[in-house]
Structure 1
Amino acid sequence: MSHAVRELAAALLPDGRELTVRLADASDAATLLAVSHAAFAARPVHGAPAAALSDDEAAVGARLAAGTGYVAEVDGEAVGGAVVVPLEGEPCLTRVGVVPALRGQGVATFLVEVIGEHRADLGEPELTLLARADHPDVVERWRRVGFATDGERAGHLLLRRPLPLVARAADADAMRTLGRRLAGLLRAGDLIIASGELGAGKTTFTQGLGAGLDVDGPIISPTFVLARIHPPRTGGPTLVHVDAYRLGDAAELEDLDLEESLADSVTLVEWGTGVAEGLASDRLDVDIRRGTDPDDETRWVFVTPHGDRWDRARLAAALEEDA
């Protein structure tokens, strides 16, 4: 199989060069080994040397045979890699590394995002990984990209990250329909953080959500007033619609006193990523993306449930196009 067929995603580095991520096969064992050794040898040493430095080509080949490898490339040269292998029946991310020359360019973050979306397409609910407890700086980096601690194993922290469910919205009407279907699962106290570029469809999604909750409208972007309150027409919860685009951080969000209404409302925060997560540990992240063709109205909606509040099977059913 050619590398072109196995390419999963592409992005631009800050210097304009193209970064791609592709699936690996058995022939990539030496490539992944070289990337891993370069990456882990450059890291500060705390305690015992990194286990990755003891790998040989046979060990990498065995992981590829048992799981799935991923290679990040710039101009055809491997600059990053990772392997997902089974850990007690769950997909476990391991040997994530980026060569020192590309550190700080967003390669690792993009690689992990692509891997997460690929695993979500396979129907997997979450990624796990083991991070050494004596490397708190590394653990903190994983937490910044959505992983949370779920126990400890032999000097390692077990980290988990929920994976998104994916829906397709062919046009604005389909986006509103998607919002109405998700509204059927909501109750007072629920928090939704909606992200996506300008014009992606966040407000359109919220209009559907409001229709499903049967609240007073009209629902328009609250960019300048920051928050709009839509009371229910019947006996359901109020919809609090917030636009955090003009807010700098979580401290500015606190000035809106959303905690006062959170328990009795469904709260949706546009542009809330990195700002609104502290409002509730149980939440839905809704990331809306458009394709590369400007004439195509299709949007891809990635819905990631956080916490025990959400039934993943019910969410998946609500996202089905023929639901």
Structure 2
Amino acid sequence: MILDDPAATEALGARLAVLVRPGDVITLEGPLGAGKTSIARGLLAALGLEGEAPSPSFAIVQPYAPPEVRFPVLHVDLYRIDDADEIAELGLDEAESDSLLLIEWPERAPGYWPDALMLTLAIEEDGQRRLTAAVPPGWRERWQQI
């Protein structure tokens, strides 16, 4: 899928918001500036977040809870994680059953979320973004609606 500009990237996030539910994990992979946080911002806005969602680069985990959003969401940025063992300290396993997890830089923890909807963004020469998706069984019907 080609995303023409930042607005199209955020719009994809908004379309995902209609389909997500607690217990889902979406990973967002790609180079700096590819649009990972833009997808997350579009999704969070469509779930009810007013104002701009900050990038969780320094906080690592940015939680959102009702009434701020429809259901709990953890926006996670693993860019600063040096060792996958550090992920256990973040408490994501406990939150996974009742929250949506949005994970940026999942390549810092390979194989950690095997059932995630894995979205990868690449920057094309003309500045557009190319999105590829690895769609697990639990997402196949929903992904067709994108």
- Provide TM-score, normalisation by structure 1: 0.43
**AA matched with 1:260:** E
Structure 2 residue aligned with 1:204, among 32, 38, 54? 38
Question: What is the Cα deviation at residue 249 of structure 1?
Answer: 2.7
Larger CA deviation: 182-191 vs 232-241? 232-241
Q: How big is each residue's C-alpha offset from its partner over 1:81-129, in whole Å with a ceiling of 9 and x where there is no partner?
A: xxxxxxxxxxxxxxxxxxxxxxxxxxxxxxxxxxxxxxxxxxxxxxxxx
**AA matched with 2:115:** D
Superposition RMSD in Å: 1.9
- The residue aligned with 1:257 is 91
- The residue aligned with 1:304 is 134
**AA matched with 1:291:** E
Structural mapping, 1:275-290, within 5 Å: 275=109, 277-278=111-112, 280-290=113-123
Quick check: which one's strand share is greater? 1
Where does the alignment leave 5 or more consecutive residues of structure 1 unmatched? 1-166, 319-323
Distance 1:189 1:232 in 2: 15
Structural mapping, 1:4-153, within 5 Å: none
Where does the alignment leave 5 or more consecutive residues of structure 2 unmatched? none
Larger relative contact order (Cα-Cα within 8 Å, sequence gap ≥ 6): 2
Number of residue pairs matched by the alignment: 146
Q: What secondary structure, in the 3-state scheme, does the structure 2 residue paired with 1:173 have?
A: helix
Q: What secondary structure, in the 3-state scheme, does the structure 2 residue paired with 1:246 have?
A: coil
Q: How big is each residue's C-alpha offset from its partner over 1:45-73, in whole Å with a ceiling of 9 and x where there is no partner?
A: xxxxxxxxxxxxxxxxxxxxxxxxxxxxx
Identical positions, percent: 34
Tell me which structure has the larger Cα radius of gyration: 1
**AA matched with 1:177:** A
Q: How big is each residue's C-alpha offset from its partner over 1:181-225, in whole Å with a ceiling of 9 and x where there is no partner?
A: 011111001011111100001101100111222235531211111
Distance 1:271 1:234 in 2: 25
Distance 1:238 1:217 in 2: 17
- The residue aligned with 1:317 is 145
Distance 2:80 2:42 in 1: 24
Residues 214 and 232 in structure 1, CA contact (< 8 A), matched pair in contact too:
no
Q: 1:247 aligned to 2:75? A: no
User: Displaced runs of 4+ in structure 1, greater than 6 A?
Assistant: none
